[in-house]
Structure 1
Amino acid sequence: MSIRTRLFFAFLILTVFPLVFIGYNGMRSIEHVSELTVTESTQQMKELGQTSIRQKAIDVAMQAQLYFEAHPELLFDSTQMMADKELAGIAVQPVGMTGYTALYDSKGITYFHSNPKLVGQDMHMFAATLPEFWAIFDASLDGTVVGSYYVWKEPNGSLREKYMECVPVGSTQFRIAATTYMDEFYVPIRDTEQKARSIFEQTRLQTYGALTAVTGLSLLVALWLSSYISRPVASLVSASQAVEAGDFSSVNLREVEKRKDELGGLARVFSRMAEQMRSREQDLKDEVQSLQTKVQLFIEIDLARKEGQVREITESEYFENLSSRVRDLRTRKEQGE
């Protein structure tokens, strides 16, 4: 793996990966805090809804008790009681946005209800179809204060959670039930949750966009930085290989020498060293050439001296007499044969 590749990956590991890790965990933390806030807020609104429904039931029961105390004859005449519009206004009051209160007796007979079809009806008829509702209703018939959740089936078939609180009307045989849909209390929370979710999604997109931009910029910086560092190193390696091969003419580090960092200093030192090596090598070559010339001259001088000595010997009287004798001996030998 080249130094450029190593630098590139090192830069990514040291910069991009930590940024991505921090950004991802930051978004997870924000999402977790948001979910936790919504959950706790929902629970608080749920408890607030229960308290509100319970208080409504107690208030209506108190109002009905005071009315009965003022009109005790109504306790013994159900027909007259049901015809009393003022009592009807007390018994049936709104709870929340769609909830209501109702008045019934200890036998489960409804006397006042927001739904006219249920007025005068025995609520035992819901024991089989709405067991959760009937369990709360039945537990209140003996005068016990009861409050709990139940699932209500809407006309369109959907199921919604409701809460009902049942409170006795003083010491009478009548009871007040207050009920409404619990999700009505969650509306502000749901709106806030939607806004928070929208803000979170925008923040996440912006964060991921920023991380993508930073990652892209980091990649470009990594490429530039790796090239900025590896390119002069590659030039130094090429110059070293040229010096090793004895090709000093290929050593060209002018661009690297312009740098103000350590690599520029190294290139300048290397260039001076290469120039000194080239100069020394040239001096050695010149000295060898000079020595070769001198040796050749000495050889030629020695040969000339030897030739002169040979010429002196062959031209001497002694050599002439000796040559004459040799010729005579050769002639006699040829004649004797």
Structure 2
Amino acid sequence: MIVACPNCGKKYQVDPNKITGANPKFICQSCQHAVAVKNPNLDSSESLSSSASGAKKSSTTMKRLGLRGKMVLFFVVIPVFLIGAFGVSFVDQLMDLSTIITGKSGTMVAGMAEDIISEHARSVAANTKLYLDYNPGMVKADFMNSPELKRIAIQKVGNTGYSCLYSVPDNEGKSSLWIHPNAKLIGIDLPKAMKKSLGDEYHRWWDVYNGAYKGQESKGYYTWRDADNRLREKFMVCTPIKGTDYIIASTTYIDEFTEPMKSLEGWAQQQTQSIRTNVIIALLASFVLISGIVTFYGYRLTKKIRRVTEVADRISTGELDAELDIQSNDEIGDLSEAITRMKDSIRMSIQRLKKRK
């Protein structure tokens, strides 16, 4: 069997029976090149074993995580996942905080509105007492005939609310209005009329109304149907006029104070939702941008490494004419230059050996 050295062309007579192994080689005595020889005696079982070994190696190679995969995992997947988790958590906490703040703000505004209405009732009661003290002979039937007393007792509360004056029950158990914006209500039995108007809501109104009979301030909520036929919560404060049988009631719709806060709450929720959307868009854009950069750079890097590996393998089999044309101003460039120098050194060593012979 004749085998020729692919480097110098020298031919060798090889006995096929002495060839063993799956990938036999020998060193050329002329140029020291490693010459590969095909084994004609390789039986089918060895061939299958070699194929199985190669398949296993190939499978292992396919299963391993390459450099590009590691770059994607460590520089894209994990950072983006952590940033995304932080972003989602941040936005959720922001939405919760917005809900808590606006909710508490609404409660605080409602409390402030209650205080304002209460102070209004006390102020009107105090001023009404002063007027009655300076006019001791005035009877309740004449209250509505006094423009000055009406001006003192009937005052605006909020946007649509007002104050009025009513009396504690007389000997017949009748409690009547004596100063009110609606003159038609003067002198009527107010609890009886309100029971008919309020229906099931009467008991809530009644608890506030008669709570001031004993000389103590009473306050609370009840539902009233407005001019647009909507059921709305009203807040009423009943403040007794000290030393008299009269009580000042100040009442208005509480949403006249809290409605702006509800609008602010809706605006805050919209802004929070907008921030959440922007954060998600920013995360997705960052993911796409980082993925593109890492993929592009990883492709270029692994391409250079594969080229260096390929040339190194060719040099290891004696192909000293293999060229490594990588222009890179980094560690890969330094490695390629080192391999080129190694190849040149091997070639020069072979030439020196040839000259000695």
Q: Extract unaligned runs of 5+ from structure 2.
A: 1-64, 170-174
Deviations along 1:3-35, one digit per CA (max 9) or x if unpaired, are: 212211211135423333343333334434433
Amino acid at match of 2:200: T
**Contact 2:215/2:242 (8 A) holds in 1:** no
Distance 2:350 2:190 in 1: 117
Identity value in percent? 26
Question: What SS is found at the alignment partner of 1:129?
Answer: helix
Distance 1:267 1:18 in 2: 37
- Please name the residue that 1:169 is paired with: 241
CA 182–253 in structure 1, closer or farther in 2 if over 3 Å, else same: farther
Amino acid at match of 1:53: I
CA 70–207 in structure 1, closer or farther in 2 if over 3 Å, else same: same
- Please name the residue that 1:102 is paired with: 164
Q: CA deviation at 1:165?
A: 0.9
- Please name the residue that 2:340 is paired with: 271
Structure 2 residue corresponding to 1:91, chosen from 113, 128, 153: 153
Distance 1:32 1:163 in 2: 30
Greater displacement, 66-75 / 44-53: 66-75
Deviations along 1:91-130, one digit per CA (max 9) or x if unpaired, are: 2210011111111111232222234554433332334432
**Contact 2:129/2:241 (8 A) holds in 1:** yes
**Contact 1:152/1:162 (8 A) holds in 2:** yes
- Please name the residue that 2:300 is paired with: 228
Task: State whether structure 2 residue 82 is matched by structure 1 residue 11.
Answer: no
Structure 1 residue corresponding to 2:330, chosen from 249, 261, 273: 261
- Please name the residue that 1:67 is paired with: 131
Q: CA deviation at 1:36?
A: 3.4
Distance 2:153 2:232 in 1: 24
Deviations along 1:266-286, one digit per CA (max 9) or x if unpaired, are: 2222233344456667888x7
**Contact 1:106/1:143 (8 A) holds in 2:** no
**Contact 2:143/2:179 (8 A) holds in 1:** no
Q: CA deviation at 1:136?
A: 1.2
Amino acid at match of 2:74: A
Amino acid at match of 2:176: I
Amino acid at match of 1:219: S
CA 140–281 in structure 1, closer or farther in 2 if over 3 Å, else same: farther
**Contact 2:233/2:255 (8 A) holds in 1:** yes
Greater displacement, 28-37 / 8-17: 28-37
CA 102–277 in structure 1, closer or farther in 2 if over 3 Å, else same: same
CA 2–145 in structure 1, closer or farther in 2 if over 3 Å, else same: same
Instruction: Report 1:1-337 matches (<5 A).
Output: 1-75=65-139, 78-107=140-169, 108-116=175-183, 118-125=185-192, 126-127=194-195, 128-130=199-201, 131-249=203-321, 251-255=322-326, 258-277=327-346
Q: What is the alpha-carbon root mean square deviation over aligned residues?
A: 3.0
CA 204–173 in structure 1, closer or farther in 2 if over 3 Å, else same: same
Question: What SS is found at the alignment partner of 1:260?
Answer: coil
Amino acid at match of 2:72: F
Distance 2:280 2:124 in 1: 55
- Please name the residue that 2:4 is paired with: none
**Contact 1:169/1:175 (8 A) holds in 2:** yes
TM-score by structure 1 length? 0.72
Question: What SS is found at the alignment partner of 2:224?
Answer: strand
- Normalized per residue, the structure richer in helix is 1
CA 151–248 in structure 1, closer or farther in 2 if over 3 Å, else same: farther
Distance 2:288 2:342 in 1: 42
Distance 1:208 1:118 in 2: 61
Deviations along 1:173-216, one digit per CA (max 9) or x if unpaired, are: 11111111222222443454455445444544444443333222
Distance 2:181 2:227 in 1: 16
Greater displacement, 46-55 / 186-195: 186-195
**Contact 1:98/1:180 (8 A) holds in 2:** yes
Larger CA Rg, structure 1 vs 2: 1
Amino acid at match of 1:105: S
